[in-house]
Amino acid sequence: MVTALFVCTLTASLDAQDAEVVAMVTAVNGSGTVEANGTTEALEIGRELPSGAKIILDGGNASIVFMDGQLFELAAGDRLELGADLSASTITGGGGTRGVADGETVAVADGDVARANNDKWQSQMASIYGVRGDASVAAVSPRLTVANQTPTFFWFDGDSVAAGRSKTYTLLVRDPSGKTVVSQELTGTVYELNKQDMMLSSYAFDRSPGTVYTWGVYAKGTEPAESESLPASFVFVDTEGQERAREKEVKLQNLVETGSMDETSYHTLMSLYYADERERLFSDAIPHLYTLLDNPSGKKFAATQLAQILNRFGNEVSTAAAYFARKARYGM
């Protein structure tokens, strides 16, 4: 009974928040502020914007996406006041105050923009802040279901005592029969998220839907015997899921290539698409979030999303999840 009441209350609260959000910041390559609900804060990627919010861009450029899927870019000196939707919003610049004109926006989604679940995850994130490293190497991603046919491998060495040191590792990947199809030496940094891009075609991977691969990363000299199991696994999603993800990627990549959308917005939108509960392709979001970690205005968003995703992956990557939870809370 108490649980049911809590769930209903939480759902009602989230529904109320859903009703007021009209846009979200997808890129900030400069500096600015947002005034909303009586507070003024720095403009950051992932910031959700209610009706009545005012954005002031002091320098550089920024992009926001309205919940109907229209992306709008602001230039230095612009002041944008959000109405209930795009048509009710106004912008003030060198030519005075006006509405957003036709041709100033670009459609990046079909009226259904994926959103972050920050409020939903706050209590869960709070529970992992204190998890500390155990000096083991975690095979972080890919895990669970993936659509990307050339997934990027990420690992995290939890030895905080040796943080920042360079170290040599071995990546092992096995096919469904247990045969080792990849054995590659890697160099990474202790107590940081490391990545290795691979052209899997070089290893004759079977990307058929439902095909499962296991893998792990080990400090050189500690590799397991062939008879021992590997700690992580991933499976290629069904054909519909692969085609839907590819269609989304191609559409947004084309917008970037034609100059209709900035690259930062591409990474923000793709990370949210893959992490959305309807797609559940969490591992495919990680390369995009990894890129956003390099953007000063995207670090908090990326760290928060990474903490949430890695928390889903279970105890084997809890040290990495806690690492990003602390980064999201206390700064990079």
Cα–Cα distance, 321 to 327 (Å, whole number): 10
- Assessment of whether the complete model's pTM goes beyond 0.85: yes
Residues 87, 270: contact at Cβ < 8 Å? no
CATH architecture of 122-332: Sandwich (2.60)
Which residue stretches of the chain have pLDDT < 70? 1-19, 111, 116-135, 199-204, 332
Cα 60 to Cα 192: distance, rounded to the nearest angstrom: 30
One-letter amino acid at 99 equals G
3-state secondary structure of 20: helix
- Residue 102 tokens read as 């036709």
Q: Which two three-digit tokens encode residue 193?
A: 């998220």
- Helix orientation angle between 318-330 and 299-312, rounded to the nearest 10 degrees: 150
What is residue 17's predicted lDDT score, i.e. its pLDDT? 44
**227/220 Cα distance (integer angstroms):** 18
- pLDDT, position 110: 77
- As a whole number of angstroms, the distance between CA 106 and CA 125 comes to 35
Domain boundaries along the sequence of the chain = 2-113, 122-332
Question: Contact, 245 vs 274, CB < 8 A?
Answer: yes
Through-space distance between the first and last CA atoms of the chain, rounded to whole angstroms: 41
Pair of tokens at residue 252: 């947004």
DSSP 231: S
The pLDDT score that the predictor gives to residue 317 is 92
**How many Å apart are CA 182 and CA 174, to the nearest integer?**
7
Q: For 207, how many CA atoms within 13 A lie in the half-sphere containing its CB?
A: 16
Output the pLDDT for position 19.
40
> What local confidence, expressed as pLDDT, does residue 132 receive?
54
pLDDT for position 14: 36
